[in-house]
Amino acid sequence: MKPHVKLFIIIADELAIIMFTLSILVLTGIVDIVTALSFGTVITAIIVTVTIVAMKPQLTKPKIGPEALIGKEGEVKEVKSKSEVIVLVNGEYWLAETQNSVVEGDKVVIADIEGLKLKVKKIGRKK
């Protein structure tokens, strides 16, 4: 499930609980409707803010590790076989698998990672 969907579900769930609780308080006469709306607005703002701050790390792209390489460009340095190549990305050599035919010097973009093997797609030739 995508992080944005998780965030929406969590916030919607919290809002439903707040509305249910305030509805019970209003119906039983413990709190009048104006007070309930005021409390509901303040509590909702606090909970939504805390939820967004807590979920922020899950919504951002990784900055370190192999996952941070997805979307970056590299250069083919060696062709080992038809589908296996060595690419240079950010100054590091990586074993990569490609579906396209590539030659040394081709530019590739990292589409995915399986273990320590990159999945790359050709985007052009080195100029």
Backbone angles phi, psi at 70, to 5 degrees: -60, 130
pLDDT tens profile 6-24 = 888 888 998 999 999 999 9
**In this structure, are residues 78 and 104 in contact, taking their beta carbons and an 8 Å threshold?**
yes
pLDDT at residue number 126: 62
pLDDT at residue number 79: 94
The Cα–Cα gap between 90 and 67 comes to: 13
pLDDT tens profile 65-122 = 777 889 999 999 999 998 899 999 989 999 999 988 899 999 999 999 998 899 999 9
Q: What is the DSSP letter of 29?
A: T
pLDDT at residue number 27: 93
Does pTM surpass 0.75? no
The Cα–Cα gap between 27 and 34 comes to: 13
